[in-house]
Chain A
Amino acid sequence: MAVFLPTTVTPAALERQLESGLGPGVDVLVYGRFSDFASAIRGQSPNAILTSATVLDALSLPTHVQGVRGGQVTEQWLLVSVGDTLDRVAPEQVRYGALDMVGREGLPTLVARLLGLSRRPQVVRVVKYADLLPVLQFGEADAVLVPQRILDDFTSKSRLRFRVERVSTARIKRPGVSFTGPERHDIASRLRHLDPAVRELLGVDGWVEPRGGQP
């Protein structure tokens, strides 16, 4: 199973937890960078691909099993800036720090969609959540996009005076799975039995099968 799911833990830790949670017989490979993940999908033909369904969409892969939380398929992301920075910068000049979920070329389009912008904005691309704080500290970005569920964690370690904005369109699909091999029923069943700690890490509390995407 190829996995690309930025979380607050290291890819190695996520890999250990998923391997342990899914049990013997499922080899899990967690990728820390989108480009490595995309190359692996092209070159290694994994039996299953676990990533945000937004990423599956970007890769034109079907979502056979969709993670949900509180019945919601998507999760809210928030726009976090420091002080009055966004009031001082012209809207078309704002540089947005964003986690690289879909590759360099697709990321500005994704950010524009999330924020309801009519044009591709300037995007400062980072490869893990932990890098979003430094781009604010160093003034490389004027605002960053952060999943709501990690906001407290994000803000608690810093003394910056954060301003948090909720943009209604800033919603990313939760993890989903696309199957390419014959083990799909087995893996789907194991996913449903992941322990709560792993599901919490993934940001899901259950799995559904989207219409038309049944394994």
Chain B
Amino acid sequence: MRRAAVCFCLALAVAVFMVVSSCQRPQQRAAEVDFPDPSRRPSVPVVLVLAPPVESFAPVLAALRAEASTDFDVLVRPVWGEEPPASIGHHVSECNPAAVVLFNNPTVLAYRRWAIRQKTVPPALILMAAFADQLQRTVPHAVAISYETPAVTAFVGVRATFGNPVRRAGVVARPSFSAYLRQQRSLAAVEEIELVVERVTDEPSVDELRRALERLDAASVDVLWVLNDNRLLTAQLVERAWLPFVGEFDRPIVVGVPSLVRSDPSFGTYAAIPDLDALGVQAADIIFELANHGFQITGSPVRQPWSVRVMVDKAQAMRMGLTVRNPRRIDIIVE
């Protein structure tokens, strides 16, 4: 059991690291994908995409280009996040874009270092960046689609999938997540779901986390929501606090990382992860919206992603006495 738990912790650490690093940590390496320029059309405006040329962004880029190419030449330039402002400036002057799309946090930061020195900049759309709502405020003339799936989407999905009424959702959180949780609480309230937050310190001990989880259990929450927070998912906390708790918990556990639903031993029961194709369509429509308003930002500067893919750990659900009501609606079922 201990060996399995250690293997699981390692896998989990890698999974969470990959999610966080895809948003946050630049790591220059060979390009995984190539997005060659389409044939340029005279007088067709350009949308410049700045992104690391890695596989994980390809579906969104492909959908964005497919949808936007009716009206725009979508040009992709690789950015790893460590480029000097002049390098970003070179891409912008070369392409003269009507709008810019920025993928992930390092790209946004690299772009911002250039943009804050300019008198005017084209509108920028931020995609697939962690905590995009906070980032968006720091980038001139920017709009963003949040990358984190709103918790209410997952909670309503749990209702539909297992048929249990979700009225109270429990979550353990560190202080730095307060603003994020306020927003999630307000979104959940729309569906009459109360968010029960158990706060822990910035670097919680095993005992502190264990006690927080026990309090949530005692608070009769209908579902446990696990934040994508690598400090709450360290190998030690997973092995000594999360796994013993999860093994005994009898209500759905919502996670935001596919690996946590595929894990052995079981961890998450249900995950709602961004639908990358649909995210590309949503992004394209924001570009069209900008174009319709003379490339000025008019609506809300931060949009929620509204399309998800659903994963369910059927074995864990069965252990909890839950039945998947309509498996044909689930994108990925882990047997």
Contacts of A205 in B (CB 8 A): none
Contacts of A158 in B (CB 8 A): 156, 191
The answer to whether A157 and B156 have CB atoms under 8 Å apart is yes
The answer to whether B156 and A131 have CB atoms under 8 Å apart is no
Binding site for A on B (CB under 8 A): 63, 66-67, 70, 150, 152-153, 156, 159-160, 187, 190-193, 275, 277-278, 281, 284-285, 288, 303-304, 306-308, 326, 328-331
**B306 nearest CB neighbor, chain A only:** A134
Q: Is A105's beta carbon under 8 Å from chain B?
A: yes
Also in contact, A160 and B307, with CB within 8 A (given A33-B281, A137-B152): no
Contacts of B306 in A (CB 8 A): 126, 131, 134-135, 138, 140
A103 vs chain B, min Cβ distance (A): 9
Residues 64-89 of chain A: 1 if any B CB is under 8 Å from the residue's CB, otherwise 0? 00000000000000000000000000
The answer to whether A127 and B281 have CB atoms under 8 Å apart is yes
Contact of A105 among B70, B190, B191, B192 (CB under 8 A): B70
The answer to whether B156 and A104 have CB atoms under 8 Å apart is no
Contacts of B328 in A (CB 8 A): 9-10, 13, 17
Residues 82-108 of chain A: 1 if any B CB is under 8 Å from the residue's CB, otherwise 0? 000000000000000000100011000
Seed contacts A128-B278, A130-B308; 4 additional CB < 8 Å A-B pairs? A33-B281, A134-B304, A157-B156, A160-B191
Q: Which of A1-56 contact B (CB under 8 A)?
A: 8-10, 12-13, 17, 32-33, 35-36, 39
Q: Is A115's beta carbon under 8 Å from chain B?
A: no
The answer to whether B192 and A35 have CB atoms under 8 Å apart is no
The answer to whether B281 and A160 have CB atoms under 8 Å apart is no
Contacts of B153 in A (CB 8 A): 134
A149 vs chain B, min Cβ distance (A): 15
Contact of B66 among A35, A128, A156 (CB under 8 A): A35
The answer to whether A33 and B307 have CB atoms under 8 Å apart is no
Also in contact, A9 and B307, with CB within 8 A (given A32-B277, A134-B153): no
Report the count of interface residues on A (CB-CB < 8 A): 32
Contacts of A9 in B (CB 8 A): 326, 328-329
The answer to whether A36 and B307 have CB atoms under 8 Å apart is no
Also in contact, A133 and B156, with CB within 8 A (given A126-B307, A138-B150): yes
**A10 nearest CB neighbor, chain B only:** B331
Q: Is A199's beta carbon under 8 Å from chain B?
A: no
Q: Is A159's beta carbon under 8 Å from chain B?
A: yes
Contacts of A160 in B (CB 8 A): 190-191
Contact of A138 among B275, B284, B285, B304 (CB under 8 A): B304
Contacts of A130 in B (CB 8 A): 307-308, 329
B268 vs chain A, min Cβ distance (A): 19
Q: Which of A155-184 contact B (CB under 8 A)?
A: 156-160
A180 to B284 alpha-carbon distance, docked (Å): 32
Residues 108-137 of chain A: 1 if any B CB is under 8 Å from the residue's CB, otherwise 0? 000000000000000011111011011101
A157 to B303 alpha-carbon distance, docked (Å): 23
A131 to B192 alpha-carbon distance, docked (Å): 19
